[in-house]
Every structure is written in structure tokens, then in C-alpha cells.
Structure 1
Amino acid sequence: MAFTVGPELGRRRRGGLGTMSEINVVPLVDVVLVLLIIFMLTAQVMEFGLEIDVPKVKQQQQSARELPVISVTKKGEVYLNESPLKLVDLRDAVLKKFGASTKAVYVRADRNLTWDVLAQVVSEVKAAGFDARLVTKTEDIADKRR
């Protein structure tokens, strides 16, 4: 509660109390403490939630199937999984080697490769009926600072 101190102590002006210049913070402190207690109690309940024993399974071996990767050097040389070949033979080589076993072919191209060579490679991959997925490398923060 707020009290007024001064020469008008105990006197009323015009039938009312004098104005209070302080903010009453007691209700605010009460609300904050109640919220703190509620938070502390619910945090413990949330931590221990439901106890579930999940089933255990054997880890299966990854299949050793070969992923289709087409690499293109900056000179325009095309490689299918490390095997060199010509661009005109790319469609038949991809179909022969991977057929229906996969839906996508990964294309690794040198960053200095001209766009027209990359566009021809992607076009051949699409013509063979596969999705072309370009392989990129994430940029390091140290590389950005240079």
C-alpha cells in the first residue's frame, strides 16, 4: 500500500484521498511468483513424460550397388563412374549400365565448365529417361572471408 507523508497527513482534500505517486508492485510480484512455481512444476512433468520401450531390430547392411555418377571435367571430358566415354554414347551407356535399377543420375561438373557442355550432358540424361541431379559442394565460411 502507498501512504502519503507530509503536512496534509490525515487531512482529506475535497472529500477524497490525495493522489498516489507510487506504483503498487505487490500484485505484480505475486503473479510472477505464481507463474514461476507453475513453470517449475510443469517442467519436471514434461521431462519425464511417457516411458516407451522401443523395439530393437538388426541393422541391415547397405546394398553395395553402384550409384550412377557422370563426371565432366573442365575440358569437357565425360566419365560414367570413372569410365571415360564420348558424349554421343552417354545415353546408351547409362541405359545399358543402370537400366531400370535407378531413377536418377548424379552429374558432377567442374565449376569452370562451359554451360553448353553441361546442358548437353543433362539433355542426354533426360533423353535416357533419368532425372539429372547436380552435385555441389557446400561453401565453407573460411572460403567466404577470402
Structure 2
Amino acid sequence: MYPRRPVVVKPQSGLQSDINVTPLVDVVLVLLIIFMVVTPLMRGELRLQIPPSGEVEYPPSNEGAPGLVRLSADGRLFLEGEPVSEADYVPRLRAFLAARPRGERELFFQPDAQASYARLIQALDGAKAAGAEAMGIGVDPP
């Protein structure tokens, strides 16, 4: 019948040594998008209200004036000039603020220049937990 044709077998190609970077680029772009979305959410923000220029005058009876919390260089707290222990800080503040009407539950913090920043933040957190509606921080000018 017909003559048989010879079967031609092609040799296998060698190993491919090129790196396929497309999946790598895809992963990097996805991570970039994730970080771009998440980064603004991770910023810790502290709302500040800048006081008006000039000094605020309070009535002579000291009614309506914010409570004063002092922080010494060694980390001790004083509420209206009286020393307060760590355990009594939040309960004393809560009682102090509860005696004031709503809208006047303000505290003014005066840390020593050498006081620990972390200790000041703890004092501010305790005041917020005690129910302070507004807080201010005062420092002596250099």
C-alpha cells in the first residue's frame, strides 16, 4: 500500500532558566494597595483645640475654673495641690468631677518639665476614664 513515513521525534527543549516575575509583581501591587489603605487608619491622632489669644479670666471664687492636676518630675500626681496615690487617682478624679455640673468637668494638667511623657499620657487616660469632658496641658515657657 502506501509507504510508511518515518516518525520524526523532536528533542525536548532544555530547562527554562527565566524567572516569571508576573506573580511577584501582582503580589507586590496587592500589598502596596493594602498598606496604602491601612496606613492612615493606624495613625494615632490627638484632637487639639488651640486657645484664643489672651488670657482667660475666671471668677474670683474659682468657680468654673478647671481642676488642676500637677505631675511632678518623679511621677507623683497632685489634685488641687493634694498628693494622690496611683490607686486613688481615678476614683478621686471621678468624685471631683461628679461634684461639677455637666459642661464644666474640665481638668488642667501641669506637668513638670522633667516628667515622663508616658506618665503624663497615663494621667490623661485616667482623667478621660474618670469622666473629664475637656482637658488642657500647660507648660512653663523656657
TM-score normalised according to structure 1 size: 0.48
The higher-RCO structure (CA 8 Å, 6+ apart) is 2
Greater radius of gyration (CA): 1
TM-score normalised according to structure 2 size: 0.49
